[in-house]
A = this chain, B = another copy of it.
């Protein structure tokens, strides 16, 4: 059976098959719990065959699987440049969070550090995904020359998304993904708003973003829900 399959696959097809099998295994287990034998067994080939395609063994397979996961993640923020910013962010987050959900154990092992397969190369791939997400968001915000505060604001939000995803896994995947997504969009609006309070460029960006939102969208919903909380700060409007 496996012999037949072996004959029928091209070199490229076989490589892809092994990579997908590895990605599937690394998604749901910590890297130290995945062996080359597991990869070989999952596609019914021999261990030496896996070595023929990946002479660097498990480390090379892991890095190749991570590379392919990174390409997938970098696609998340490549949304059409139209509609309210909150919808574009929600769509990007839906893809990102679905990835986190599907690759739970691997995502956690990769980002919590101290993993046996972690090297400066794997860290560089993770950083590249973060950088690419920041660039995509700046592209959507239509800011070709972002200043310090806007750059920091976007990168901090990306860190928060990553952190919240890990915390979500830690909390047994609670709350439901749609709630987590809405909360992360709220966080973006909140972070942009307070950064805009002290930075002219962010204020311009906030103004343009808010103009694109509608009263029946998530930012309209947030605005109405936030009013009773903000009312408690009414005494702060005047200096003592």
Residues of B close to A189: CB separation below 8 A: 194
Chain B residues positioned under 8 Å from A222 (CB to CB): 194, 197
Interface residues of A in 131-183 (CB under 8 A from B): 148-149, 151-152, 155-156, 158-160, 162-164, 166-168, 171, 174-175, 182-183
Q: State A114–B113 Cα separation when bound (angstroms).
A: 8
Is A215 a contact partner of B235 (Cβ separation < 8 A)?
yes
Choice from B155, B193, B240 contacting A230 with Cβ under 8 Å:
B193
Distance between Cα atoms of A109 and B191 in the complex (Å): 27
Contact B160 A148 (CB under 8 A): no
Known contacts A190-B194, A193-B230; 14 further A-B pairs (Cβ under 8 A): A112-B127, A148-B174, A155-B163, A183-B195, A186-B198, A190-B193, A197-B222, A207-B232, A210-B233, A215-B235, A215-B237, A216-B239, A220-B236, A223-B233
Classify chain A's interface size. Answer: 35 or more
Chain A residues 99 to 131 lying within 8 A of chain B, measured CB to CB, are 112-114, 118-124, 126-127
Distance in angstroms from A107 CB to nearest chain B CB is 14
Say whether B196 contacts A229, CB under 8 Å: yes
Bound-state CA distance A211–B72 (Å) is 46
Nearest CB of B to A191, in Å: 6
Q: How far is the CA of A203 from the CA of B225 in the complex (A)?
A: 11
